[in-house]
Structure 1
Amino acid sequence: MERSSLMLEISRLSIRFHRLDRRLRQVHTETIHNLHLTVAAQEILAVVGSSGSGKSLLAHAILGILPSNAQVTGSIQFKGEELTPDRQRRIRGKEIALIPQSVAYLDPLMRVGEQVQQSVRQGDPENLRRKAFHKYNLAEYVAKWFPFQLSGGMARKILVSTATVSGAQLVIADEPTPGLDASAMVETWSRFRQLADDGCAVMLITHDIEAALTVADRIAVLYAGTVVEIALRSDFAGDGERLRHPYSKALWRALPSQQFRAIPGYQPLPDALPKGCVFAPRCSSATIECEEVQPEPRTLRGGEVRCLHAT
């Protein structure tokens, strides 16, 4: 991938939270560790992983909306320039748009039609809002409703509409489809594909690997706060033999279509991470070296992997 096409480039990103314990002592918990990934224009990168792996924290770090007790280190670049806190404030909702996981992001005191129209940066706001409502099968009278009058699925459609009319060059969708019926879900995923084909960079954050594979170009697998593998969509096939990391293979084989072949153990909590590879305690191929050394990302067979023994 040529650097000139990169819309988002993240390097050595770490996120640490500070808090006081019951004895008023400072406690530091690192939830994202030395994370690397890129998203290019006209590309959909799906970030997948189980609950607690850090997917939403990654989105919030890019947008600069983490809580005040968070400390972020590393580099986040958008269109080749560092995303400083000031730049994040200036382009958030304009050049970078978020489709959040929670519908609570909608303003409870503003009619939803106005909220969608306020996101328009170029063109006629009302006309673009009408087109978005038509695409997502929202009746025109819904524009006059307040968020509390919407069903969960309707609220999701409003959030997607708000992002798609904004003209943003990077769209981050954090679990965008819960509450949508099957047809609306397919339509939503196809809209992301259209956004990418039109030149936008799209990051889809989801636990639904099978749905992501219908539209994504690459898949970043997140485990315990770090990306353990970035693979092409075509690598998720068969028995997972083209995948590189043991966790990616386990995640693929645990899907319903792969007969729910789960592995023992659980993802470690952020304050109880192993010294070496984060997956070593659950990996049947782990060695003493895996327990001591944190692997760096490396290129392998057209993808990227953090595993000392991947071949």
Structure 2
Amino acid sequence: MLTIRDLSVGFRRYRGLFRHEETSRLSGLNLTLDAGEVLAVIGGSGAGKSLLAHAILGLLPPNAVLRGKLAFRGQALNPVYPPALRGRKIALIPQQVSHLDPLARTGAQMSWAARRSGSAADTTARLAALGLPPQVAQLFPDQLSGGMARRVLLAMAEAGAPDLLIADEPTAGLDPENRDAVLRMLGEHARRGAGILLITHDLKSVLPIADRVAILDEGRMRGIEFPRNFTGRGAELTSSYARDLWRALPENGFLTDA
């Protein structure tokens, strides 16, 4: 479904009037994502996770320099505006709930998203599927809890049943109950045949729904692992960086080889 080959992203900036330099932020990334698969991309702040999402979606700023190949269902993605987006085949769950319009009620925003995707705008049914009462449709974004807002963003992204759903830190700031609810919904979307690119820093929580885990660090891919290998002291992990990351979690005793 999604193929990424030798992807690099840098940014040009001027030094003086005529000279410019390029700073690299992603370098030599190779990834594939199949239909029905959840691929978790794990990394700390500044690792390049959101930048990867923006590169796929064609949301890079004018001074960005993109190299390599991005293809969706065999069709090359234009780095300025991917053609697949016009058919709502790719959707994004943004990292910040501030992407919701503060001046519009939740139900209206869900209806707009449905109409843009060409699907039925049954707001009550969508809210019920997310475990939310119909009264939520009358609320403004600042009246929603963090968990409610995340689920509304998920409902808007799912409108039109996109083939590829990119979830950028969809559980950030959520309590365990709401976090697990959002992750279950993403897993259900994958079981209906969509590919899920799940971007997060929370390794432990995504292991139950992920099919593979890609480890990103300072713009470079440090390994791609199977969730079942994140157990014990991580002896089955193929990447030493993934092993150190796993061992350093609080529940694993903050252990490292250092």
TM-score higher than 0.5? yes
1:51 matched residue in structure 2: 45
Larger radius of gyration between Structure 1 and Structure 2 = 1
- Which structure's relative contact order is higher, taking Cα pairs within 8 Å and 6+ residues apart? 2
Could you list the per-position Cα deviations for residues 86-118 of structure 1 after superposition, in whole angstroms to 9, with x for gaps in the alignment? 651551681101011111222233322122222
Give 1:275-286 correspondences, 5 Å limit.
none
2:32 equivalent among 38, 43, 68: 38
1:95 matched residue in structure 2: 89
Residue 243 (structure 1) shift: 1.0
Identity of aligned residues (%): 42
Residue 19 (structure 1) shift: 1.5
2:193 equivalent among 183, 192, 199: 199
2:120 matched residue in structure 1: 124
Match for 1:193: what amino acid? G
Q: What root-mean-square deviation, in Å, do the aligned CA atoms of Structure 1 and Structure 2 show?
A: 2.0
* Partners of 2:233 and 2:247 within 8 A in 1: yes
Question: For residues 23 and 124 of structure 1, do their structure 2 counterparts lie closer, same or farther at Cα, with a shift above 3 Å needed?
Answer: closer
**Cα distance in 1 between the residues matched to 2:109 and 2:102:** 10
- Give secondary structure in 2 for the equivalent of 1:51: coil
Question: For residues 43 and 99 of structure 1, do their structure 2 counterparts lie closer, same or farther at Cα, with a shift above 3 Å needed?
Answer: same
**Cα distance in 1 between the residues matched to 2:82 and 2:202:** 28
Match for 2:140: what amino acid? F
1:210 matched residue in structure 2: 204
* Partners of 1:64 and 1:89 within 8 A in 2: no
* Partners of 2:150 and 2:182 within 8 A in 1: no
**Cα distance in 1 between the residues matched to 2:217 and 2:119:** 41
Could you list the per-position Cα deviations for residues 198-246 of structure 1 after superposition, in whole angstroms to 9, with x for gaps in the alignment? 1000010011111110100000010110111111111212211111121
**Cα distance in 1 between the residues matched to 2:196 and 2:158:** 11
2:229 matched residue in structure 1: 235
**Cα distance in 1 between the residues matched to 2:81 and 2:18:** 35
TM superposition score normalised by structure 2? 0.92
1:77 equivalent among 71, 75, 89: 71
Say whether 1:149 aligns with 2:153: no
Match for 2:120: what amino acid? D
Say whether 1:168 aligns with 2:162: yes
Could you list the per-position Cα deviations for residues 33-73 of structure 1 after superposition, in whole angstroms to 9, with x for gaps in the alignment? 01000100010000001111100000010001111111111
| Structure 1 residue runs of 4 or more that deviate by more than 6 Å after TM superposition | none
Residue 119 (structure 1) shift: 2.2
- Give secondary structure in 1 for the equivalent of 2:92: strand
* Partners of 2:77 and 2:83 within 8 A in 1: no
Segments of 5+ residues of structure 1 without an aligned counterpart are 1-6, 265-311
- Give secondary structure in 2 for the equivalent of 1:248: helix
**Count of residue correspondences:** 256
TM superposition score normalised by structure 1? 0.77
